[in-house]
Structure 1
Amino acid sequence: MSNYQPPLTVTPRILALVAEISECVGQLTAYREDTFTPQLRRGNRIRTIQASLAIENNTLTVEQVTALLDGKRVMGLPREIQEVRNAFSAYDAMPAWQPDRQSDLLTAHGLLMQGLIDDAGHFRESGVGIYREAKLLHMAPPASRVATLVQDLLHWLARSEWHPLIVSCVFHYEFEFIHPFADGNGRMGRLWQTLLLSRWRPVMAFMPVETVIREQQDAYYAALAASDQAAEATPFAEFMLSALLQALVEARATDQVTDQVTDQVASLLSILPPGSALKSNELMQRLGLSHRPTFSKSYLKPALAAGLIEMTEPDSPRSPTQHYRRVRN
Structure 2
Amino acid sequence: MSSRQMNASNRETTTTVTHFILLGFPSSPEMQLLYFGLFSTTYTLTLTGNGLIVFSVLLDRHLHTPMYILLGNFSLLEMCYVTTTVPNMLANLLSTNKSISFLSCFAQFYFFFSFGYDEGFFLCAMAFDRYLAICRPLHYPCIMTKQLYISLVILGWLFGFTLYLAPVVLISRLPFCGPNMINHFVCDPVPLMMLSCSEDIITQLLYLTFNAFFIIGTLIFILCTYFLVIRAILQMPSTASKHKAFSTCASHLAVVTLFYGPIIMMYVSPRSGHPEKMQKIITLFYSVITPLCNPLIYSLRNKEMKAALRKIFRTEQSVHKM
TM-score normalized with structure 1 length: 0.35
Structure holding more helix per residue: 2
Q: Which has more radius of gyration?
A: 2
- Work out which structure has the larger RCO, using CA pairs closer than 8 Å and 6 or more positions apart in sequence: 2
